[in-house]
Each structure stands twice: as structure tokens, then as C-alpha cells.
């Protein structure tokens, strides 16, 4: 029983390596002039990139536009990718840099344009955490939760928001985030801690056992 | 204080954001738009390649530039030595007929005593004397 998490970790590593090998193969094809090979990489990463950008901006229109911009940048700069890191690390770095400059430019004019929830799954999730809510109330609560979550995220500083999005929402490891942000794992952990403290304060009405 | 309707942990609450994803129809439009933008970019990349080809040609020409410069300098030196025309200046020397008889010579070096500098032109034009302007006072061209 004790060995199972290690096995899972090994399996994950093997899968990650297989995925990286597959990426290298497609990148080599793109570099040799087969531009259609880039479609594979687009399909593989577009949803993850979109998710990061959307959670950073809380605006679905901007997120779609930025994701396209990021993929075009990656296509244009793929010859500079030397394979020293994983392709997705390199891609996420482009994504974060592009998003950061966009957010800095549009700070004064930013507004929310929120994405749809995956209703069936989320309603089940809400149901398991709500205290005897009726169906009508649940829909209202969903909308309210979405707004509050996005509002709270947008109140965080860029560095804090990035760490929360990558770790809690995208499920990346501290090591991966540190590589992407060119900082130490300790910095990532510390930013995550402070960001969570801020979020707890901002979302206290929806959290269990919260004490200020 | 607002009554608590849900009791999530912060992590659970943040995980809810994983469900905020566009519908499948969105990705069809997204991919079409992206393909258009990429096609434009590939077109631009090709014309950029053409521009680079010109650069390569330019670079090849640049490789010949030192040799071409040397040839130009050599040509200029030969030209000035063989077909040199003395510039008129306000410095004069007096030249007698016997010197002018050496027409075969392109240049003639005057000795120091034959020089007569700083004499106005009108005072020197008489008899067999000719006035030739030269910038060095030591040599002149016929």
C-alpha cells in the first residue's frame, strides 16, 4: 500500500518523458519545414494555455486572443527552442510573458468576461459542499461563486496570482513553476503561502473553518 | 456577517475554476481563426526569407568590397600619376623657353633657383618667359 504513491510518481514521470519525446519529434518536423506538424502541438496545448491565460485575465475574449498570439509567437520562435527544457515549460514561459505584458498594458481598462462552468460536474460539486440548497439557489450561488473567485484572483499581485493559477488550478509542481518563473522553489512556496492567506481573507464567506 | 451557504476549503474552491472552460464549438472557431493567422504568418515568413536572400547576396558582395576598394585606389593612383592636371594656384614659377622645349616630359622638376614665387602674373608675362602655375613650386605639367 505504501509503495503505490511512488509507483504513481514513476508512472507520471514516464508519461511526462514520453510526452516530451513526442513533442521533440514534432518540433523536429516543424523545424525541418513541415508547418502542418505544428498543428499537433497546437491541439495538445491550446486548452491548457487558454486556461492559464483565462485564469490570469478573467476575460474569455482576451484569453482567446492571447492564446492565439502565444501559439503564433511559439511558431515563429520554434527554431530558437533548443530542447534544454521541456517544450511546455518553454511554451508556458511565452504564455506568461505575453500575458504579463498584456495585463500591464490594459490594467486601467480591464473588465471581466467570464467563461461557462461545466454545469453538471460543478453542480454535483456544489451539492456535496452546500447546506441544503435548493436548485434555484444553487444556480445563483454558482454565479456568485464564479464572480467572487475571479474578483479575488484579480485582487492578487501578478506574481501571487501566477503561482496560485499554476499550482492550484493547473496542478503544476513547485519545481515546474520555479523553472517557468526563473526563481527558486522557496520563492514559489512563499508566494503561494501569502497568496492563499490573501485569498482566504477575500473569500472568507465561502470557506469552512476560516479564522482571521 | 453573511451566512455561510457553502463550506469549501480554499483549495476546493480554487479547483472549481478548472471547470471554467469553453464549450467544444468554441474550439472549432478558435482553430479556424488560428489557422488563418498562422497562414498569414507563414506568408510573411516567406517574404521575410526572400528579403534575407537579398541580404545574403549583399553579404557576398560585401566580401568583395575590400578587393574592389583596393582596385579603385590603385586605379585612382594610376590615373593621377599618368593623366594628372595641375591645379592652378596663386603660387607661380618662371619658366624659360628651353624648359618648355622639353615637351616630351610630362613633369619637370625645377631647381630651387628657377623658382620665383609670389610674383604677380602680369609682371611675369614678357618675352620668352612663360608662367606656369603649380601647387608645389617644384614641378609642373605642360
Q: Where are the domains of chain B?
A: 23-82, 92-141
What pLDDT score does A146 carry?
84
More confident residue, A61 or A120: A61
| Range scoring the smallest mean pLDDT among A10-24, A105-119, B33-47 | A105-119
Across the interface, of B15, B16, B21, the residue whose CB is closest to A51 is: B21
Residue A122 pLDDT > 70: no
CA distances from A50 to A43, A59, A144, A177, B27 (A): 12, 11, 23, 17, 10
Residue A63 pLDDT > 90: yes
Residue A193 pLDDT > 80: yes
In angstroms, the CA A147 to CA B6 distance is 15
Q: What is the mean pLDDT of residues A87-106?
A: 92
Size of chain B, expressed as the number of residues it contains: 142
What ipTM did this prediction achieve? 0.78
In angstroms, the CA A44 to CA A27 distance is 13
On chain B, the residues whose CB falls within 8 A of the CB of A60 are: 22
What pLDDT score does A94 carry?
94
Most confident of A128-132, A183-187, B112-116, B122-126: A183-187
What sign for the dihedral angle of Cα A100, A105, A107, A110? negative
What pLDDT score does A52 carry?
94
CA distances from A80 to A75, A84, A207 (A): 10, 11, 46
In angstroms, the CA B99 to CA B113 distance is 14
What pLDDT score does B72 carry?
92
On chain B, the residues whose CB falls within 8 A of the CB of A145 are: 6, 13, 16
Q: What is the mean pLDDT of residues A102-129?
A: 69
In angstroms, the CA A24 to CA A82 distance is 10
For residues A42 and A56, the answer to whether their CB atoms sit within 8 Å is no
Amino acid at each position: 500500500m505504501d509503495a503505490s504513491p511512488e509507483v504513481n510518481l514513476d508512472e507520471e514521470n514516464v508519461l511526462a518523458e514520453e510526452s516530451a519525446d513526442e513533442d521533440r519529434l514534432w518540433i523536429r518536423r516543424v523545424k525541418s519545414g513541415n508547418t502542418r506538424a505544428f498543428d499537433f502541438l497546437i491541439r495538445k496545448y491550446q486548452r491548457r494555455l487558454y486556461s492559464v491565460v483565462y485564469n490570469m485575465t478573467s476575460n474569455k475574449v482576451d484569453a482567446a486572443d492571447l492564446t492565439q498570439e502565444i501559439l503564433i509567437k511559439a511558431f515563429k520562435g520554434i527554431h530558437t527552442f533548443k530542447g534544454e527544457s521541456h517544450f511546455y515549460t518553454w511554451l508556458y514561459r511565452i504564455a506568461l510573458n505575453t500575458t504579463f505584458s498584456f495585463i500591464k498594458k490594459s490594467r486601467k481598462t480591464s473588465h471581466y468576461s467570464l467563461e461557462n462552468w461545466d454545469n453538471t460536474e460543478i453542480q454535483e460539486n456544489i451539492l456535496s459542499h452546500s447546506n441544503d440548497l435548493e436548485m434555484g439557489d444553487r444556480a445563483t450561488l454558482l454565479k456568485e461563486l464564479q464572480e467572487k473567485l475571479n474578483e479575488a484572483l484579480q485582487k492578487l499581485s501578478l506574481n501571487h496570482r501566477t503561482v496560485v493559477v499554476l499550482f492550484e488550478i493547473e496542478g503544476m509542481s513547485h519545481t515546474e513553476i520555479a523553472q517557468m518563473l526563473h526563481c527558486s522553489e522557496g520563492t514559489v512556496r512563499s508566494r503561494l503561502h501569502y497568496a492563499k492567506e490573501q485569498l482566504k481573507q477575500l473569500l472568507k464567506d465561502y470557506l469552512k473553518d476560516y479564522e482571521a | 456577517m453573511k451566512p455561510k451557504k457553502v463550506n469549501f476549503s480554499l483549495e476546493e474552491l480554487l479547483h472549481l475554476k478548472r471547470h471554467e472552460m469553453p464549450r467544444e464549438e468554441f474550439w472549432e472557431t478558435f482553430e479556424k481563426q488560428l489557422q488563418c493567422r498562422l497562414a498569414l504568418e507563414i506568408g510573411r515568413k516567406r517574404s521575410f526569407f526572400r528579403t534575407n536572400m537579398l541580404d545574403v547576396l549583399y553579404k557576398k558582395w560585401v566580401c568583395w568590397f575590400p578587393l574592389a576598394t583596393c582596385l579603385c585606389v590603385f586605379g585612382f593612383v594610376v590615373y593621377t600619376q599618368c593623366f594628372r592636371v595641375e591645379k592652378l594656384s596663386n603660387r607661380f614659377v618662371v619658366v624659360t623657353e628651353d624648359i618648355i622645349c622639353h615637351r616630351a616630359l610630362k613633369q619637370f622638376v625645377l631647381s630651387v633657383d628657377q623658382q620665383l614665387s609670389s610674383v604677380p602674373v602680369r609682371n611675369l608675362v614678357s618675352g620668352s618667359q612663360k608662367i606656369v602655375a603649380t601647387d608645389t613650386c617644384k614641378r609642373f605639367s605642360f
